[in-house]
Structure 1
Amino acid sequence: MSLTGLYVPLVTPFTPTDELASDALEALGHAVLDDGAAGIVALGTTGEPATLTAAERRRVVDICAGVCVQRDAQLIVGAGSNSTADSADLLADLDPRAAAALTVVPYYTRPSEDGVVEHFRRLAAVNPVPLIVYNVPYRTGRSLGADALGRLARIPNVAGFKHSVGSIDDATIAFMSTRPADCAVLAGDDLYVAPLLALGATGAILASANVATRAYADLVTTWRDGPTDQARRLNNRLLPLSQALFAEPNPAVIKAVLSAHGRIPSPHVRLPLLPASTQATTSALEAAESISFREAAAVGGSLA
């Protein structure tokens, strides 16, 4: 499969009484596709899947799948755990409308690199759709070197990576220079999207794009098609927004901004997350307003 462009990991909107806000989720899906996203990620970390019931997770996927079918867009579904057997069961039950499964490197148990490779080899062999390896060591406690990343990239039915290592480190540079041509790398760190795109990433999965989809879609497209000086300017203008949105645990600030903009019915997040502070919300709203103003003043919809 082709994994290019911007994919938005949608928040899961709740009502003020903690119910799933289905209509708001569907509207968000259509809105991000209207603003240039190539697809949607359901049940990514930003969607708070760990605090959803099984019925709520199914409903979220069904809504997102319906939007993607209507819009001829790709749906990526987060599925997997730190148990290989349980992950295989989850993937076997994946909605057939999904184009790929975003599957995290096994967390907490901290397996060896060989164990991680074997985990994905087993899952890729039985999964009905391609896998995207979610490499996020600051959440999993398991970092991977360039050799292990290369071995994962060569497993049949592994379509690519969401690469979120919190930096551009030696392993990233080595892997990006040697990865197979048919292996997609999607930037997953909002603050490091530009350098990873410059190294050859094919696209991005960015939580900040819930708030400013068109600007981040333009950023990905401009790094791909040029001019690169405009891509650098785009990135520099978006950095304050990403920093503000991640000032407190994701997705609390994002939800606060979306609620203030009237796009979701409440800023509610579920414990152990807490609602965004007033200070963080105010800073993020100011950053978002700055981006919106520049977009409105830009020629052709880019932040030139």
Structure 2
Amino acid sequence: MTLTGLYVPLITPFDDAGAVALDALEALAHRILDAGATGLVALGTTAEPAALSGPERRAVVDVAARVCGERAARLLVGATTPPELEALRDRPEVTAALSLVPPFTRPGEAGVLAHFRRLATGPVPLVVYHVPYRTGQSLSADAVRRLAALPGVVGVKYAVGGIDDDTVALMADLPDGFAVLGGDDVFVSPLLALGAHGAILASAHVATARFAELVEAWRAGDAVRARSLGHRLAALSGALFAEPNPTVVKAVLHALGVIPTAEVRLPLLPARPDTTRAALRHADALLHAPA
């Protein structure tokens, strides 16, 4: 199984009373798949999982699993500990778990490898989430290849903050059957140009079809179409990430009438009106541009 295509890490919409708006979440999931996404991610960092209760997290996964089951779409679920992975054992709709490189402790490459060797014995395949500017742990291209060699590790969400020497080295010699999914929204087009298999993008809540088109264009080798579209989508992504994710994404979706409120839970604060307006201008230009 090599994961390809566009995956959207679902936000968690809240209603006017502050509860999880499950009906809005279900409608959003269908909307994203209707627009051409390959699959969904539940309980990624975009979902504010640390601010959700245990029952709320289970309900979010229930919704995503039901939608993906109905649509024959792939589902990734954020799960980083053995108990979280074990909770996915009886969920046949789950394609893989999205598992974060251990944050803050900076265990070194050998420690990261040992950590995932243990997790990979769990009930579902793993996609390693490598985001060193959040975890504090860098990984060389060789370390990523050693992770790829572990049975049960099927890919990486690759979000290193740009295109560096290790990125180029990794993409020049990709392990067979191992998916590299771009996770830096602004830099996803150049990573796809280097051969990434797809992407996991919070920005793709907005202009989903255009992000799916970008992935398809680079995979098809249509550099002319992909390059132009990639520039425009990078500008949208920059606007959507002008404040901590997913605050601006939620504000834009609310302004477009997709979710009932733009509310986020602490420690996040709602996006500023000027930031939201700027993102809406970029979104409007893409949503109404010729296909």
Shift of 1:218: 0.3
Task: Count the aligned residue pairs.
Answer: 289
Following superposition, the deviation at residue 93 of structure 1 comes to: 1.1
**1:157 is aligned to 2:152:** yes
Q: How does 1:85-234 map to 2 (within 5 A)?
A: 87-94=81-88, 95-125=91-121, 127-234=122-229
Deviating 4+ runs (over 2 angstroms): none
Shift of 1:96: 3.5
Task: Determine the structure 2 residue equivalent to 1:276.
Answer: 271
Counterpart residue identity of residue 291, structure 1: L
| Aligned counterparts of 1:113 and 1:238: Cα–Cα separation in 2 | 33
Paired amino acid for 1:264: I
Question: Could you tell me whether the CA contact under 8 Å between 1:161 and 1:185 is conserved in 2?
Answer: yes
Query: What residue is the counterpart of 2:34 in the other structure?
Result: 34
How far is the alpha carbon of 1:227 from its aligned partner?
Answer: 1.6
Counterpart of 2:71 in structure 1 is: 71
| TM-score (ref. length: structure 1) | 0.94
Query: What one-letter code is carried by the residue in structure 1 that aligns with 2:99?
Result: T
Give deviations 1:164-215, integer Å, cap 9, x for gaps.
0001111111112222121100000001111111111100000000111100
For the residue of structure 1 that corresponds to 2:127, the secondary structure is: strand
Question: Is the contact between residue 186 and residue 205 of structure 1 (CA under 8 Å) also seen in structure 2?
Answer: yes
CA shift, 1:53, in A, is 0.4
Q: Is the 8 A contact 1:153 1:179 kept in 2?
A: no
Question: Quick one: percent identity of the two aligned structures?
Answer: 59
2:12 match: secondary structure: coil
TM-score normalized by the length of structure 2:
0.98
Q: Output the CA distance in 1 between the equivalents of 2:24 and 2:75.
A: 18
String of CA shifts for 1:4-23, please: whole Å, max 9, x gaps. 10000011000122100000
In structure 2, what is the equivalent of residue 301 of structure 1? none
- Residue 21 of structure 2 is aligned to residue 21 of structure 1: yes
Given that 1:38 and 1:73 are in contact with CA atoms closer than 8 Å, whether structure 2 keeps it comes out as: yes
Letter in 2 for 1:91: L
Q: Where do 5+ consecutive residues of structure 1 fail to align?
A: 81-86, 299-304
Aligned equivalents of 2:194 and 2:215: distance in 1? 12
The amino acid across from 1:22 in the alignment is: L
Cross-structure match for 1:83:
none
Aligned to 2:7: 7
Letter in 1 for 2:180: V
User: Alpha-carbon deviation of 1:51?
Assistant: 0.5
Who is 1:239 aligned against? 234
Say whether the 8 Å CA contact 1:135–1:164 is kept in structure 2: yes
How far apart are the structure 2 equivalents of 1:164 and 1:238?
17
- Give the Cα–Cα distance (whole angstroms) in 2 for the partners of residues 90 and 279 of structure 1: 38
Asked whether the 8 Å contact 2:46–2:246 carries over to 1, the reply is yes
- Please tell me the residue identity of whatever aligns with 2:84: L
CA drift at 1:237 = 1.5
SS at match of 2:120: helix
